[in-house]
Amino acid sequence: MPKLSVRRGDWLPEDYAEFLARLKSRIVAARTRAVLAANSALIELYWEIGHEILQRSAREGWGSKAVDRLAVDLRREFPDMTGLSRRNLLYMRALAQEWPGPDDGGPPIVQRPVAQLPWGHNIVLLTKLADPDERAWYAQQAIAQGWSRAVLDAQISTDLRARQGKALSSFARTLPAPDSELVRERTRTTSSS
């Protein structure tokens, strides 16, 4: 193969394509880990907000007026942040109620599968499933299979768990594939927020 230039350093080494492929793979993997870490931190924040609302409701009798006011004040303070609506605050409360933390005998939220799922997935789990075991099963499957929110919703609607049997399958605890629907959806959500 003839060289395009005779100057030293202007040619590409034979293994350049493999080197580039390895770098691209590492970049994609790092971006995936960053997106998932940011998502986990957001879910942890949402859980903590929900937990505080739950505690104040129990201790001080917080009702809908307090949550309404909190939503208004938070949105005023953080106008560029989405997710601080009254409805989302109530979902945060439900998240903390349905997945108890260390104060209530449960593991920290970051150790649960739901912390690896985008917020929209969590809302689907909260609104479509009443049984904690079912929620946990679908959360694990969404991670393992890289399901988008629409696929998760469809799998719940068609009762996948019953169709596959109630036994939990074991699967490797790995990151979703960088090109999975779950990662693509989370990346879109992060970039549009």
Angle (deg, nearest 10), helices 119-128 and 181-192: 110
Domain count, the chain: 1
Domain assignment present for 24: no
**What amino acid occupies position 76?**
R
**What is the reported pLDDT for 48?**
95
Give the chain's end-to-end CA distance (angstroms, integer): 49
**What is the reported pLDDT for 188?**
59
CB within 8 Å of 91: residues ≥ 6 apart: 46, 50, 122, 123, 126
Closest CA to 126 of 82, 96, 151: 96
Mean of pLDDT over the chain: 85
Q: Which domain holds residue 167?
A: 35-192
Domain assignment present for 15: no
Question: Tens-of-pLDDT digits for all 193 residues of the chain?
Answer: 444 444 566 788 899 999 999 999 999 999 988 988 899 999 999 999 999 999 999 999 888 899 999 999 999 999 999 999 999 999 999 999 999 888 877 888 888 889 999 999 999 999 999 999 999 999 999 999 999 999 999 999 999 998 887 555 444 445 566 666 666 666 555 544 4
Domain assignment present for 165: yes
Percent of the chain topping pLDDT 90: 61
pTM over the 0.85 mark: no
Closest CA to 114 of 140, 146, 87, 144: 140
Domain assignment present for 104: yes
**Residue 2: strand, helix, or coil:** coil
